[in-house]
Structure 1
Amino acid sequence: MCAQTETLDTEPDRGASPIRLDDLTKRYGEVTANDTVSFEVGAGEIFGYLGPNGAGKTTTIRLLLGLIKPTSGSAEVLGADIRDRRALTDVKADIGYLPDSLGFEERLTGRQVLDYFARMRGDERREELLELFRPPLDKRVETYSHGNKRMLGIVQAFMHDPDLAILDEPTSGLDPLKQDRMHAFLEAERDAGKTIFFSSHVLSEVQRVCDRVGIIRNGELVALEEIDDLLKRGGKRVRVQLAAPVDESAFVTSEMINVEIIDATVRFTYTGKPAELLEYLVQFAVEDVDISDPQLDDIFKHYYGDDPPAGAG
């Protein structure tokens, strides 16, 4: 059993990485929700924390915010040790948090909710954000749709102009137009020097806005890479249209994975060099060939396959 320290009496190191995890572990009985997770998030980057529901994403976020205590390991947020309640409280004024499950008082109006958070942290950017996201402020939260609650949550997370934003599934419930608006907003925040950490199971949004990505599976970090590097490592998506059907054993090489053959059309992911593939294909009656970059969906399958995730959060 790991002894937890409530107050370590240490001053946050504001020159450190905004987020740093060192073998961070959280267990619930026999279930390990986070298993020795280690990584850093640099200042001024958008970091995507990717994994299906139940992989351990929300557990990591709750640990970083001091909402739950680690079983072992450590982490720092804006230089504050998450095990030091006083230090973490001191830096929370510079953190914006959007939880996956919004716990607003249902009987209050949206305006009253924002007034409440403004009294605690400030709201110098409230009007700017309301122009972008526009929740119905004069209606009670209990009447809100899921998307309207999400927009209210986005405004409260950013209206005090935090240096670091920690967002759990930020676009959940938003329509495509609002999703695009949110993505553009996050990119502008990054360009202004803010640090964004967000969890998601939506691969397309991670690929669009993130500088780096961490992939978590069953509580373990299985990849930590630049988006471009991850895509390159995933090989190339290839579609070959042949003049006539071909026997799979005569066509497929060891560099071809996820092969699908339908009549005279062959689709696969190619892990070798594209030039070598083109040299190989000249021996077949090829009518057309298309080579493109992989999507994160394809790479994600390499880590997860069709197995359902285990773990918590």
Structure 2
Amino acid sequence: MSIIEIKNLTKTYGKNRGIEDVNLSIKEGEIFGFIGPNGAGKSTTIKLLLNLIFPTSGEAKIFGLHCVTDTTEIKQNIGYVPSEVRYYDNMTVQELINYAKSFHTHVDKEYVEELCKTFDVEVKKNISELSLGNKKKVAIIQALLHKPKLLILDEPTNGLDPLIQQKLFNTLLQLKEDGVTIFLSSHNLTEVEEFCDRVAIIREGKIIEVKNILDFANKKVKRITLKLSEDIREKLTSLGAENLEVNKNTISFNYNGDINKLLSLITKYKLEDLIIEEKKLSEVFMSYYDMEGK
């Protein structure tokens, strides 16, 4: 069952680009990663899902309900952590939590107290006294307190210390076991690699790849560098070489195809040097950030 269904979703800001023809389907109970450079369209997509802005064209559905016309019903079962947390400075943390609880029925008081203890939230403090990381912890409590079916997290670990980051992902993994769907937008490629089931890469407002994390891992992408006098870029591309970089007589590229076919090609030429390195998954993700004109 798809919890989030996005079809040809487009948002333009006058002459400026937001996102263009975004299509995504996110399954129930998965942790879905959403990555891309700054300005790629991640936050725009999230704001459209939350009905904070309206689409230019296309549509998005959550729980089979339309994100614009059914937004009130949808939000009863969504938890959201924004990338930048802003609250009223003159409220205490407890007052803020109580206010958030008032939007929902049958909130488990003991569960909320347990969350505050887990994330070491000081409920008596004023919001104005909190650091960036402590405000983010309050946002996490607010997102989880009503036990939502879907969590939308925009850079949730930004500002958190490593211990709290680990506690957050332990919590998320437990929620996943309970059937909660998690949509995670993050610049931390290592956490995407470690915790997500699938990942979508967005660049310049367009989805350029949606992959299963295991597919990435099983491919064991290699970074290969050749030093030779001939220009064989087209032949390498035809074999599946990606992210080619040329510097004088040196060609570097990512490769996850049949190594025998590659060796058959390059042995036809006189090589001055050959370097083969196995890339970490986070390095593979980084190559999408570095691509030009795509």
TM-score range, shorter chain: 0.7 to 0.9
The residue type equivalent to 1:104 in the other structure is: Y
Q: Does 1:229 align with 2:212?
A: no
- The answer to whether the 8 Å contact 1:135/1:149 transfers is no
- The answer to whether the 8 Å contact 1:164/1:196 transfers is yes
- The answer to whether the 8 Å contact 2:189/2:285 transfers is no
- The answer to whether the 8 Å contact 2:93/2:122 transfers is yes
Partner residue in 1 for 2:77 = 94
Spell out the pairing of 1:250-265 with structure 2 (5 A cutoff): 254=236
Task: Give the whole-Å Cα distance in 1 for the aligned partners of 2:175 and 2:116.
Answer: 16
- The answer to whether the 8 Å contact 1:146/1:173 transfers is yes
1:73 CA displacement: 0.5
- Give the 3-state SS of the residue equivalent to 1:20 in structure 2: strand
Q: Does 1:193 align with 2:179?
A: yes
- The answer to whether the 8 Å contact 1:259/1:269 transfers is no
1:230 CA displacement: 3.2
User: Could you tell me the TM-score, scaled by structure 2's length?
Assistant: 0.82
Task: Give the whole-Å Cα distance in 1 for the aligned partners of 2:14 and 2:35.
Answer: 24
- Give the 3-state SS of the residue equivalent to 1:35 in structure 2: strand
Q: Does 1:119 align with 2:105?
A: no
- Give the 3-state SS of the residue equivalent to 1:120 in structure 2: coil
Task: Give the whole-Å Cα distance in 2 for the aligned partners of 1:296 and 1:91.
Answer: 33
The residue type equivalent to 1:72 in the other structure is: S
Task: Give the whole-Å Cα distance in 1 for the aligned partners of 2:285 and 2:188.
Answer: 13
Match of 2:114 among 111, 124, 128: 128
Gaps of 5+ in 1: 1-15, 240-245
- Give the 3-state SS of the residue equivalent to 2:2 in structure 1: coil
The Cα RMSD (Å) is: 3.2
Task: Give the whole-Å Cα distance in 1 for the aligned partners of 2:13 and 2:253.
Answer: 41
Spell out the pairing of 1:177-216 with structure 2 (5 A cutoff): 177-216=163-202
- The answer to whether the 8 Å contact 1:231/1:296 transfers is no
- Give the 3-state SS of the residue equivalent to 2:167 in structure 1: helix
Task: Give the whole-Å Cα distance in 2 for the aligned partners of 1:94 and 1:163.
Answer: 5
- Give the 3-state SS of the residue equivalent to 2:158 in structure 1: coil
Match of 2:10 among 19, 25, 29: 25
1:231 CA displacement: 4.2
The residue type equivalent to 1:119 in the other structure is: S
Name the % identity: 36
Spell out the pairing of 1:1-313 with structure 2 (5 A cutoff): 17-84=2-69, 87-121=70-104, 122-124=107-109, 125-232=111-218, 235-237=221-223, 248-249=228-229, 254=236, 269-274=254-259, 292-302=278-288, 304-305=290-291
The residue type equivalent to 1:229 in the other structure is: D
1:268 CA displacement: 6.5
- C-alpha distance 170-234 of structure 1, shift in aligned 2 (>3 A): same
CA displacement 1:108-167 (0-9 Å, x = unmatched): 111111111112123542122112211222111111111001111101100111111111
- C-alpha distance 135-274 of structure 1, shift in aligned 2 (>3 A): farther
- The answer to whether the 8 Å contact 2:31/2:181 transfers is yes
- The answer to whether the 8 Å contact 2:221/2:284 transfers is no
1:277 CA displacement: 7.2
User: Could you tell me the TM-score, scaled by structure 1's length?
Assistant: 0.77
The residue type equivalent to 1:36 in the other structure is: D
